[in-house]
Amino acid sequence: MSNIDPIKKRIEQIENLLKEVKYELDKISEEKSSKKEVTHKDEIIPTDEVLHADYEGLYIEFRNGNFANIQLFIKSKSKNYLKSFCRANSLPIDGYKASKDKIIAEVMNWLAQREAITKKVI
């Protein structure tokens, strides 16, 4: 019997440790879920017509050489807005997954192509 008592004590210690670890894991998962709720905001995304108008505004800025305004415009927008913006204007980039710098580069590229295509030859 004397051999069984130390083993039972160790099992009790292990059980207590497991309870503590489970409590800490539950606490961490509650913190993470509460943080997720705070970060998600209900954002109203404009209609496709407004997104097209924004793109036209960027084209005007591009033609006037105001490249910094284009960068500021894109950097000031949320990822959800940029996703809708790229989709509405048929830009071949996922505005949600791509970085804002990549979106800026892609928009500048498309604006340059548009200007080259619409430029008068004569």
The two structure tokens encoding residue 59: 């084209």
Q: Which residues of the chain have pLDDT under 50?
A: 37-40
pLDDT at residue number 37? 47
Question: Is the CB of residue 50 less than 8 Å from the CB of residue 58?
Answer: no
pLDDT at residue number 38? 44
pTM: 0.62
Q: Which residues in 9-31 are b (16+ Cβ under 10 Å) and which e?
A: eeeeeeeeeeeeeeeeeeeeeee
Distance CA 103, CA 75 (A): 9
